[in-house]
Amino acid sequence: MPVYNPPLRDMQFVMHEVLKVTDDLKAIPAHAEIDADTINAVLEEGGKFASQVIFPLNISGDTEGCKLDQKTHEVTTPKGFKEAYKTYVDGGWAALSCDPAFGGQGLPLVVNQCMYEMMNSANQAWTMYPGLTHGAYASLHTFGTDEQKATYLHKMTSGEWTGTMCLTEPHCGTDLGLMRTKAEPQPDGTYKLTGNKIFISAGEHDMAENIIHLVLARLPDAPPGIKGVSLFIVPKFNVNKDGTLGERNGIYCGGLEHKMGIHGNATAQIVMDGAIGTMVGQPNKGMQGMFVMMNAARLGVGNQSLGLTEVAYQNALAYAKDRIQMRSLTGPKAKDKPADPIIVHPDVRRMLLTAKAYAEGGRALAIFCSVLLEKVHGHPDEKVRKDSDDMLSLLTPITKAFLTDNGYNAATQCQQVFGGHGYIKEWGMEQFVRDARINMIYEGTNTIQSLDLLGRKVLGNNGATLKKFGKLVGALVMEEGVNEKMAEFINPLAVLGEQITKFTTEIGFKGLQNADEVGAAAVDYLRVAGHLVFGYFWARMAQVALREIAAGNTDPFYVAKLQTARFYFAKLFPETATLMRTARSGSKVLMDTDAALA
């Protein structure tokens, strides 16, 4: 059976020793009094919930899956899911970082980030039920009317009601301008929605008394394309003026998708037949509100793969220490046994360290993004808010795509450590691989994220935001450039920092002549940018570890961190050279292939 131990020590290292998040939070009035001890105490209890309550339901939930009653359109979640959700709500976990004005605890978003990493490690399918609610909450908090906020946010904050985002239709996924769902205005100011949505995660379930769907639809006079899309609140049960639940709305689950992974989450086909909805924001401006959800979801999906990378690594490490096979190439290590533990073999260590490096680098990036988001919403200085928003917009597609690509890679490598046992269900590894695969697809495929990064976030402003991140890299290089002990980390980072400017300019120039050049280079480009970001955080983590060791700290944690940093820069970071070469190969080798693809 799999195991999971919340990585609290590493979270504390990133938050308090590397990023010093409480220093940033002190500048935000809402969090000026928060301290490290409070954050640590909350996350320690959160880790217990993740490891003791929902982790034991992961394999059983995957085996059982969700069941749809075709007559009532009601969905039953796997055994134990509903009870675990009640424990979650009763413990106040749903309200962790929500606005106190709506019953939230008002804790920093970094606490919620770490809490959700642990829950994703423990049970990604279960975690998606409350997770999607945060995106719907954020959208309504930003664009909802006072009446809508009063009606919905208290219940969503408490977790009594959950939320979804309803975008995809059978004939359109990313190209939302093609959607056909209609919204007919009614005399009382509401709308009647008719249409079909697919792939709606947590779209129907028995864990909460109401589900608040945020639905994209078209008004009768809407202009064509994405500029004619509006956003609507469509609850499963209509809500009376006094806040009580009214009659069942005309929105229901018509079917459940049969999926490769995340079996414990109800991926629903949603049918609307005259469902009553209210508009969020302005007519034909629905993408503004939905982008709040989508950007939150993209960060959340990166966090899903971060969680899976961590739990896959923990299990592979435990197995590698226990499983004996063959002898070490340099002679027997376990002389009292007939063979050595497989952890003595170099390539087993490569697979383990790959997962460890991607998990710990991803954790640093995810926590950094959560602090940026906090600054965007709460910092009193307008320039800080703007700079943080720019940086977050650059890092969001990297967080989504780089972490999910790495997560699937890491889960597969950890499965490989188990050999044949990794292919067998009861060990849990094949589930981690299956669950990780969806993260590269939904909330915008990783190719879409790559096009967003290169086309909009980098070339769209002539590299201005990329240069802002480059200044962070440059400052670290200046600080440590003459430190010989940091050379193995700083030198490759400095070289890539210089190369990426020329690399970006070259692709941009080619793209002006032929837009397919951007499309051909985008995926490779995102991975190069991802390594630049990871390299920066790994260099900062190595910097802290070296200082602690030099100060006489004998905690083996710092030696381990340093060794992992060396592995990352020696074995993973050099991928950038190949990626830049393949990106420069251009679009002709892809597009001049009609005969090959006939």
Based on the residue annotation, tell me whether 443 is a catalytic residue of this protein. yes
Instruction: Tell me the C-alpha distance between 488 and 258, whole Å.
Output: 48
Three-state SS at 276: strand
| Cβ 136 vs Cβ 126: under 8 Å | no
Instruction: Tell me the C-alpha distance between 49 and 104, whole Å.
Output: 19
Query: Counting runs of H as helices and runs of E as strands, what totals does the chain give?
Result: 18, 11
Other C-beta atoms closer than 10 Å to the C-beta of 46 total 23
Instruction: Name every residue whose Cβ is closer than 8 Å to that of residue 94 and which is 6 or more positions away in sequence.
Output: 88, 130, 133, 157, 158, 159
| Cβ 186 vs Cβ 275: under 8 Å | no
Torsions phi, psi for 79 (to 5 deg)? -55, 130
Which of 443, 480, 517, 548 is flagged as catalytic?
Answer: 443
Residue type at 64? E
Residue type at 201? S
Other C-beta atoms closer than 10 Å to the C-beta of 331 total 9
Instruction: Name every residue whose Cβ is closer than 8 Å to that of residue 509 and which is 6 or more positions away in sequence.
Output: none
Nearest to 148 by CA among 190, 186, 112: 190
| Cβ 382 vs Cβ 405: under 8 Å | no
- Count of residues for the chain? 598
| Cβ 363 vs Cβ 11: under 8 Å | yes
Residue type at 45? E
Task: Give the dihedral of Cα atoms 19, 21, 23, 28; nearest 10 deg.
Answer: 140
Q: What is the DSSP-derived secondary structure letter of residue 71?
A: T
Three-state SS at 227: helix
Nearest to 159 by CA among 124, 119, 132, 123: 132
Burial class of residue 245, CB neighbours in 10 A (0-12, 13-18, 19+):
middle
Structure tokens at 477: 């290089």
Structure tokens at 576: 């950038």
443: left (phi over 0), alpha (psi -120 to 50) or beta: left
Please, what's the b/e burial string for 378-404 (b: 16 or more CB within 10 A of its CB; e: otherwise)? bbeeeeeeebbbbbbbbbbbbbbbbbb
Instruction: Name every residue whose Cβ is closer than 8 Å to that of residue 547 and which is 6 or more positions away in sequence.
Output: none
Instruction: Name every residue whose Cβ is closer than 8 Å to that of residue 425 and which is 6 or more positions away in sequence.
Output: 59, 63, 431
| Cβ 43 vs Cβ 67: under 8 Å | no
Active site residues per annotation: 443
